[in-house]
Structure 1
């Protein structure tokens, strides 16, 4: 038997849970669309540009004996050329509004930019400042040492 002083406990519970579920579904479907423009990722085009630039550089800078060993003279020439504001974009056939950065780093994540490219830093292009970016990393040998070549496109 039920206690006559308890009222409609089962009905109140069912109504409360229904309202809670509807509110939860509304929040989960509406909130991501509100923040979508602020969490925009990297496009497929930028990813393809990064892969293409990386592939072309490895092909152009490597020696005939090994596809992942960079020729010292060609590498120094590439990194010491004054590319200007749109030189890299023209070199790789990209739009002028596309930013490209190519950097040689040590193998460890916290290793800085290599500085043995003719006394200059082994980095070309605009400085990367933690933007949303497409990145391609290749392991290469330069000056008989292993390095990471990072190509960033944004």
Structure 2
């Protein structure tokens, strides 16, 4: 009888044991999950390690805000009456001559930017026409001592008219620019100073 039991056991198919076990679905799922978790961690963590060595839009935003505040609160205005620009200083600044609170240097240096890596453009815009939604680049018309649209400003060599824009032309190759705006008072009008940094 004992021999019959032994025969039956030897005739049975072997069950999956530790020695003959293959990879199960659970093993595969755990392995893939671990691999994907590590891969996601690397893609999220490594750029953070490298970010101090690359320029970011956040840094450009701070730079543009600082530059427009410097212009509207001290260089073209005064600390006692910020956002109220002095007409004579504003015209001299855009005429690229020295005077008031600035020297005859490049725009980037006057704004405290690094001229080797940063460019800027400063423009004064406002409504100089009868259209309610017009946003014209402004010009100082020396003959009338008033602000007019740049398109209506005589641009003769013998006039002292100054178009209120200064700096590098904006990039056309979709380079990222950051814009900072301040609404100010100039020659009895509300105008907007636009500083663009890239």
What's the TM-score once normalised by structure 2's chain length?
Answer: 0.50
How many aligned positions are there? 139
Aligned to 2:109: 90
What's the TM-score once normalised by structure 1's chain length?
Answer: 0.62
Q: CA RMSD in A?
A: 4.1
Aligned to 2:164: 122
- Specify every segment of 5 or more residues in structure 2 that has no aligned partner in the other structure, as ranges: 1-54, 99-104, 142-152, 154-161
Shift of 1:99: 0.6
Task: Flag the 1:72–1:89 CA change in 2: closer, same or farther, 3 A.
Answer: same
Work out whether 1:57 is the aligned partner of 2:71.
yes
Of structures 1 and 2, the one with the larger relative CO (CA 8 A, separation 6+) is 1
Moved over 4 A (4+): 107-110
Larger-Rg structure:
2
Q: Choose 134-143 or 60-69, whichever is displaced more.
A: 60-69
Q: Choose 74-83 or 101-110, whichever is displaced more.
A: 101-110
SS of 1:114's equivalent in the other structure is strand
Shift of 1:52: 1.2
Task: Flag the 1:127–1:111 CA change in 2: closer, same or farther, 3 A.
Answer: farther
Aligned to 2:119: 99
Shift of 1:149: 0.7
CA distance in 2, matches of 1:87, 1:72: 21
- Specify every segment of 5 or more residues in structure 1 that has no aligned partner in the other structure, as ranges: 1-39
Shift of 1:66: 2.8
The structure where helix makes up a greater share of residues is 1
Answer yes or no: is the 8 Å Cα contact 2:64–2:196 preserved in 1.
yes
Answer yes or no: is the 8 Å Cα contact 1:113–1:122 preserved in 2.
no
CA distance in 1, matches of 2:79, 2:108: 26
